[in-house]
Amino acid sequence: MSDWDHMVVEQDDPALVSPFILEMVRQIRAVDSYGIWDKSGAHEIIDPYILTKERKRQVPVIGDPDEDIIVRIKAWYNALSTSIEAKTGLMAVPLIHLTYEGFGRVIIAVGKLIVFDKNLRDVHRFGFKSLEHMQQEAEKIITKASALIEDHRDVAKL
């Protein structure tokens, strides 16, 4: 039995009610045009983002991202952008360029200010070791971006 056959995020995990995780769930539901996630709980929607050691071993070292991975990546950066916008009051926009081989770049811009920039590689292995790690990573990015906006608010408002 593979580790993907059972859930690693528990239904009663307190992190599921954090503002960022709620935003992640909202972003996934927003792109679910066929209603696949309609009857799913937040823990089921977030579970594929968690890449435990066992799950990571099952993902090939070299591979192309499938559509599900691309949707998860876009939802992650959309949720970050929405959270930055909520914290600063200025619209944040993610710009994602991704090749079919899983390489690319993501930028989050607020006005004329780049508040986040990351090269992407091996996105078929995108995930976090735990829900707590996912939340911590999001908070770190949101905090740094918000501080950058406050330091350069005149550029962010352009």
Question: Cα(116)–Cα(102) distance, rounded to whole angstroms?
Answer: 19
The torsion angles phi and psi of 119, rounded to 5 degrees, stand at -80, 140
Q: Which residues of the chain have pLDDT under 70?
A: 1-5
Distance of CA 91 to the CA centre of its chain: 18
At 124 the pLDDT is: 85
From 1.20.90.10, 1.10.357.10, 3.40.190.10, 1.10.3100.20, which CATH number describes the 13-156 domain? Answer: 1.10.3100.20
At 6 the pLDDT is: 77
Max Cα distance, the chain (Å): 55
State the residue for tokens 């823990």.
43
At 1 the pLDDT is: 44
At 16 the pLDDT is: 87
Question: Cα(158)–Cα(113) distance, rounded to whole angstroms?
Answer: 8
Going from N- to C-terminal start, the domains of the chain cover: 13-156
9 in Cβ contact with 47 (< 8 Å): yes
At 4 the pLDDT is: 55
20 in Cβ contact with 85 (< 8 Å): no
Query: Taking the complete model, does pTM exceed 0.75, yes or no?
Result: yes
pLDDT tens digit string along 117-154? 999 988 888 899 999 999 999 999 999 999 999 999 99
